[in-house]
Amino acid sequence: MTLGTPSARSSREAVVQRPSSTPSPAPVVPPQVESSVGRVIRGTAKVVDGNTVVVGGTVIVLHGADAPEAGQSCLDMRSVPWDCGGKASRQLERMVAGKTLTCVVEEEIPGAVAATCVSGGTDFGKAMVRDGFAVVPEYLAPIHAAEQAEARAAGRGVWVGSFERPEVFRGKMQSP
What's the pLDDT at 56?
93
Please check whether residue 2 lies inside any domain of the structure. no
146 part of a folded domain: yes
Q: Could you tell me the pTM of the whole model?
A: 0.78
Please tell me the distance from the alpha carbon of residue 169 to that of residue 165, in angstroms, as a whole number: 6
In a domain, 18, yes or no: no
72-101: b or e for each residue (b if 16 or more CB lie within 10 Å)? bebbeeeeeeeebbbbbbebbeebbeeeeb
Residue 105 lies in a domain: yes
Residue 23 has what DSSP assignment?
Answer: P
Report the domain count for the chain.
Answer: 1
- Residue 86: which domain range? 40-174
Region 109-122 average pLDDT: 95
In a domain, 98, yes or no: yes
Give 7's DSSP letter. G
Here the CATH number for the domain that contains residue 110 is 2.40.50.90
Query: pLDDT tens, 119-158?
Result: 999 999 999 999 999 999 988 878 999 999 999 999 999 9
Q: Is residue 135 within 8 Å of residue 158, measured between CB atoms? A: yes
